[in-house]
A and B are shown apart, each in its own frame.
Chain A
Amino acid sequence: MTEEQDMAETEAAERVLTAGDFFESDLPDPEEIPPLACGAMADSKPFVAAPEHQEALGFPGELVDNWHDKAIDKMGELVGKYQSLRVYLDSCVKCGACTDKCHYFLGTGDPNNMPVARQDLLRKVYRRHFTWSGKYLPWLVGAQDLTEDVLDEWYSYFHQCSQCRRCSVYCPYGIDTAEVSMAAREIMATVGKGQKYSNEIIGKVHTLGNNLGMQKKALEATLEDLMEDIEDETGVEIDVPVDKKGAEVLLVTPSADFFAEPHIDGLIGYAKVFHQAGISWTLSSYASEAANFGVFVGSYENMREVALRIRKAAEDLGVKRIVFGECGHAWRVAYSFLNTLAGPFDFLDQNYPVPQHICEVTHDLIERGVLKFDKSANDHIRLTFHDSCNVARASRMGDRPGGQFEIPREIIKACCNHFYEMSPETTRENTFCCGGGGGLLTDDLIELRKKGAQPRMRALQQVADDHGVTHMAAICAICKSQFSKVMPEYGFEMDAIVSVHQLVSNAIILDDAQSAEPEESEDKPSAEEPDESGEEAEE
């Protein structure tokens, strides 16, 4: 390392991390196991869904009178419908491998946040009603009746799981607490005790197509402003179209990309990539949301209904490909479930995977030399990459296992000069959740969110100290919102979290001539050049 680089590194560290005194001088280990603090988080509960939010999803408005029997019936139904749930509830041997793996446990010390203990909250009732030993010898196997206190406990602790699947990586049987949490939440919603944040949002998607409840006109106005901003900044006219029939690509992206920071900088990045590659694309006002909160509440039916909007949008607009923007749980539902929920997608171009991740699109274009970058445009930042939990452990990119780790990193390295990895125990499949996933990104859970971010923040602090890292990139709308909220608590600037396509946007070299007269797409044989003057889709 030259002296100059060395100095730059020290300066960078000093510049951004003056507030780093938050930590003791010798840095705490991200995986440090806290002493048990029983009941520490028992009072952490999200707001209960209002009757109208419940009823809109087909759940009862408030806790029903026969909630106990209804809950047990629902549990019986779910263990019959989900092999995962049945096998996971039976198979755990309490070996303890998962006990120190959950970021909420590491951040709070509450033993009910150990994955096995969280599962046991449901398992003890399952055993009482569905196993011989629990029926006749409950004391022996820790079986318990479902009382009001137990229901309260469920409501607290099943809303302290971000469904990040880190425990399932370390469980010798692959037991995934996310499956148990989803089942518990579905049971609670079914008896009238749903969660406000998730259910209200799912209702908005069912009626308006996005989590924000944004109407088509508002979306169009927002995007027009955005196009003006891009033109002011770059001098190039770059289209961000909505409901353009006959476009090649339907881009489905989290609605946070339309307005939130740093999400919107990612959206600008997608637009520049499509523009530079000459790929015609469109957003849909009918399916203007990539996130599918149905997965958070465990409801297959709601998840399916949200997914079918995307299919309908693709059919109505006559696109050939579906591409998803940067979003974690959304990419899980898209990659792993979309074909199941809303397939088969035989009407789309089978030369491309359905659906595709924007990172796959960009990476492919980089590999084929279609995109060129001026890396120095990102020289003001020193980067690390946060693997978003559901991309890392519940999906894939590219055609090889682990592509979800390599592809975003290769994109970052193609457009940045300074990239440093965090500790390997905290990245790739071992990554820590941001602390806000799985339907917990709500202000009524802010204490939990701050504490849950602790392991990631400690890992970040390490690379900040060792390599002068100033920024962390992510490919998930939840990660981005969560980190910009909690990073100041840990002594970082709130804009230290960036979108991967924000880096692309900074460094991409735009060919001005192309904007005047679009050339033939290099990306695809362009037998059918999409109709640029396409009509607006009907609402």
Chain B
Amino acid sequence: MLLGGLAYKITQYATTPAPLKIPTTPAPTTRGGVVLRFLREIVLFETLFKANKWIWLFGWVFHFALLLVLLRHLRYFIQPVWGWVAFIQPYGYYAGFAMVAGLLGLWARRFLVPRMRYISAPSDHLMLALLVAIGVSGLAMSFIGRTDIVAVKAFFLGLMYFDWQPLPADPVLLIHLGLVLILMVIFPFSKLLHAPGMFFSPSRYQVDNPRERRHLAPWAAKLETDAEGGGR
């Protein structure tokens, strides 16, 4: 579902033409410049920083904590565990708190700032609730009642090699995994599409060179050939 849906949306984005050059200027005049623009955007959330420091703080903390947490989870899917995955374990462990804190900050804004309240739909709240619940259930397994993590790993490794192993019947674990499944299912239908979408945003990925290179979309080119019979 996740991969199929994402592949569908990415193909759709990639094949929809952009008939006009619309980079938001000042924009890079070379491909390399565009790559740098994206790097700054992905690593630093540069634009968000320029726009609003609070959203930047909560958003950046959430996304990077999430990245650490996800990388930490690799250990449940690989055997033997790679060195750097072992190294980040303690950081990923506590990043869970930062992730939930970032999410709660973003959520609080949706209640406290009238402008944010105005633009929030139920789905915006539910998405945050889902992510918070995933984070909290995950933290609960690490810091409150510990799950039989060795058995969990055996289950996932078994899943990957088609060798079915029992999953521990810990309710917190089942909630955690169930919520992650839900997240993966709704990913291609929801605003989580912002992750692949940002790479297909013409105002950001286009190179500022319209005078140097003629840009023509297929459907726009067709207007020209159609008109040729009658002359310009």
Instruction: Contact check, A401 vs B25: say whether CB atoms are below 8 A apart.
Output: yes
Do B118 and A139 touch (CB < 8 A)? no
* Bound Cα distance A101, B24 (Å): 15
Cβ–Cβ < 8 Å partners of B123 in chain A: 133, 140-142
Verify if A513 is at the interface (C-beta below 8 Å from B): no
Once the chains bind, are B25 and A97 in contact (CB under 8 Å)? Answer: no
Q: Is A343 an interface residue (CB 8 A)?
A: yes
Using Cβ atoms and an 8 Å threshold, which residues of chain A touch B9? Answer: 90
Q: How far is the CA of A172 from the CA of B186 in the complex (A)?
A: 22
The residue that B12 contacts in the complex, of A86, A99, A168, A404, with Cβ under 8 A, is: A86
A396 x B214 contact (CB < 8 A): no
Residues of chain B within 8 A (CB-CB) of A101 are: 51
Contact-residue bracket for chain B: 35 or more
Question: In the complex where A91-B197, A133-B189, A141-B121 touch, is A401 in contact with B27 (Cβ < 8 A)?
Answer: yes
Number of A-B residue pairs having CB atoms within 8 Å of each other in the complex: 206
B201 touches A170 (CB 8 A): no
- CB-defined contacts of B223 to chain A, threshold 8 Å: 300-301, 304
Known contacts A95-B48, A101-B51; A174/B203 CB under 8 A:
yes
Contacting A at CB under 8 A, from B196-227, are 197-198, 200-204, 208, 210-211, 213-217, 219-220, 223
B210 A339 Cβ-Cβ under 8 A: yes
**How many angstroms from the CA of A304 to the CA of B217 in the assembled complex?**
13
A133 to B121, CA, bound (A): 13
Whether A311 contacts B232 by the Cβ 8 Å rule is yes
Once bound together, how far apart are the Cα atoms of A141 and B123, in whole Å?
A: 5
Chain A residues, CB < 8 A from B202: 83-84, 87, 174
A176 near B119 (CB under 8 angstroms)? no
Query: Does B116 sit within 8 A of A, measured CB to CB?
Result: yes
Cβ-closest chain A residue relative to B197? A91
With A91-B191, A93-B191: A114-B118 Cβ-Cβ less than 8 Å: yes
Does A51 sit at the interface, judged by CB under 8 A? no
**In the bound complex, what is the Cα–Cα distance between A86 and B197 (angstroms)?**
9
B17 pairs with A81, CB closer than 8 A:
yes
> Is B165's CB within 8 Å of the partner chain A?
no
Given contacts A83-B18, A335-B210, contact A132 B48 (CB under 8 A): no
Is B200's CB under 8 angstroms from A401's CB? no
Using CB atoms, name the residue of chain A closest to B188. Answer: A132
Residue of B with least CB distance to A301: B223
Chain B residues with CB below 8 A from A139, complex form: 122
Residue of A nearest to B122 (CB): A140
The contact of A336 among B48, B116, B122, B210, by CB within 8 Å, is B210
Contacts A83-B202, A141-B123, A354-B211; A97 near B194 (Cβ below 8 A)? no
Chain B residues lying within 8 Å of A300, measured Cβ to Cβ, are 19-20, 220, 223
Nearest-CB residue, chain B, relative to A90 = B193
> In whole angstroms, what is the CA distance A176 to B27 when docked?
15
- By beta carbon, the residue of chain B nearest A166 is B24
Whether the pair A172, B203 counts as a contact (CB closer than 8 A) is: no
Neighbour of A93 across the interface among B18, B25, B194, B208, CB < 8 A: B194
Question: Complex: how many Å from CA A355 to CA B28?
Answer: 20
Q: Is B22 an interface residue (CB 8 A)?
A: yes
Within 8 A of B (CB), among A74-100: 79-84, 86-88, 90-100
Asked if A393 is at the interface (CB within 8 A of a chain B CB), the reply is: yes
Q: Which residue of B lies closest to A333 (CB)?
A: B20
Inside 8 A of B48's CB, which chain A residues have their CB?
95, 97, 172
Q: Which chain B residues (111-128) contact chain A, with CB distance < 8 Å? A: 113-116, 118-124, 126
Q: Closest chain A residue to B27 by CB distance? A: A401
A111 lies within 8 A of chain B by Cβ: yes
Please name all residues of chain B whose beta carbon is closer than 8 Å to the beta carbon of A99 when the two chains form the complex. Answer: 115-116, 119
Write the nearest CB–CB distance from A80 to chain B, whole angstroms.
6
Given contacts A93-B194, A96-B115, A337-B20, contact A343 B208 (CB under 8 A): no
What's the nearest-Cβ distance from chain B to residue A107, in Å? 15
Q: How far is the CB of A105 from chain B (nearest CB, A)?
A: 9
Query: Does any Cβ of A come within 8 Å of B142's Cβ?
Result: no
Across the interface, which residues of A come within 8 angstroms of B189, CB to CB? 131-133
Nearest-Cβ distance from residue A328 to partner chain B, whole angstroms: 13
User: Residue B22 contacts which of A96, A336, A339 (CB distance < 8 angstroms)?
Assistant: A336
| Chain A residues proximal to chain B, CB less than 8 Å | 33, 35-36, 79-84, 86-88, 90-101, 111, 114, 116-117, 120, 131-133, 139-142, 165, 168-176, 179, 300-301, 304, 308, 311-312, 335-337, 339-340, 343-344, 353-355, 392-396, 399-402, 404-405, 429
What are 6 A-B contacts defined by CB distance under 8 Å?
A35-B114, A114-B118, A140-B122, A170-B51, A340-B19, A429-B26
